[in-house]
Amino acid sequence: MLVKEETGIGVVETQYFTIAGGLSLENGEKLNPVTLAYETYGRLNEAKSNAVLVLHALTGDAHAAGYHAGEEKPGWWDNMIGPGKAFDTEKYFVICANVIGGCRGSTGPSSINPQTGKPYGLDFPLVTIRDMVAAQRYLIDFLGIDKLLAVAGGSMGGMQVLQWAVSYPERVRAAIPIGTAARHSPQQIAFNEVGRQAIIADPNWQDGNYYGGTPPTRGLAVARMVGHITYMSDVSMTEKFGRRARNQQKFFKFDNDFEVEGYLRSRGDNFVRRFDANSYLYITKAIDRFDLAEGNSLSEVLRNVRAKFLVIAFKSDWLYPSYQSQEIVRACKTAGVDATYCEICSSYGHDAFLLETEQQSRLVSHFLNRVAAGGGVNDE
């Protein structure tokens, strides 16, 4: 399954699990079949008490750490997962699954609809964060794990962490939501809507029926460009690009003469090679619809939670500002939930949950050690 190297996890392979009988969705529909792509790192101990579920953000996937054969780029959280790292694979059995609705191995709009023999497109049902978590619960059952030591993730991954703690309180010992919210603000919904409209306005979108033809790459690229602006901060953009020009000649019309323009276009162009436009629509809508309290008091919803919480936010994150993390912590305290709040000084903006390794690692390592000490995580 994996080859360990001195410098990290090494080469890994993505695995696949199919839910027997399919999945009943929150909207009352049934999705069948349902396949989840997932990867694991480290070893599950005999007591099956050292499992940590890592949950990805909007455009992430199951490949969280290590390398795929023939590829030079490691998984999206490789700086946090591995021997001696925050999620230490010498101690913990780390699991990461791609969400349903995605396009990186899990069932989503680009999957084949068994009723038609063609890709679902917009016939794919709307899915929610709760549906994503419900599918993951089947995977955890399949792996023979009764209780997770921890669930952890940033951004949309943090929303899944919150939903895990609420939906399955008896199965989660610790929760680490990072740079996230219990529900989206109007501004957060607005940014996602701009991205969705960029895709829908692309003439190649064809009402979602572009499979087998030319995909809406320009619309998806623009959506990604908008996203990247929100992931960074004013400070990080200034430090990375300033107002440097790509060409000293003045008075270009609408070419990417500033470095920041070239960066955004490059990010957009690279993104369309690995992500499906319909998945972007479905997943952003799931994020926007997410409301952990469902219109009720957040503290009441958290009343039955048994997990200890480590909530992490970043001072320069203006996409998921720290007040939203503080709201979660206040609700935890009111509900009697053990919650620790840490706000990290970082100039990276929302991307800090992927890049701010040193401080995050110290916080996560200490927290997991404390949680594990209460239950013999290393018992064999």
**Residue 309: strand pairing partners:** 175, 339
Please give the distance of CA 220 from its chain centroid, rounded to a whole number: 19
| Residue 352 pLDDT greater than 90, yes or no | yes
**Parallel, antiparallel, or unpaired for β 51-55 and 150-154?**
parallel
All structural domains of the chain? 2-184+291-373 (3.40.50.1820)
**Residue 12: strand pairing partners:** 2
Q: Could you list the active site residues?
A: 155, 317, 350
pLDDT in tens, 290-327: 999 998 899 999 999 999 999 999 999 999 999 999 99
What's the pLDDT score for residue 250?
A: 61
Return d(Cα 300, Cα 28) in angstroms, integer. Answer: 25
Please give the distance of CA 225 from its chain centroid, rounded to a whole number: 18
Q: Global pTM?
A: 0.94
| HSE toward the beta carbon, residue 173, CA cutoff 13 A | 23
pLDDT band, very low/low/confident/very high, at 378 (cuts 50, 70, 90): very low
- Residue 133 belongs to what H/E stretch? helix 129-142
Matching residue, tokens 């320009």: 218
Instruction: Please report, for residues 43, 227, 237, 253, 312, the alpha-carbon distance to residue 173 in angstroms, rounded to integers and kept in the order given.
Output: 19, 33, 38, 57, 17
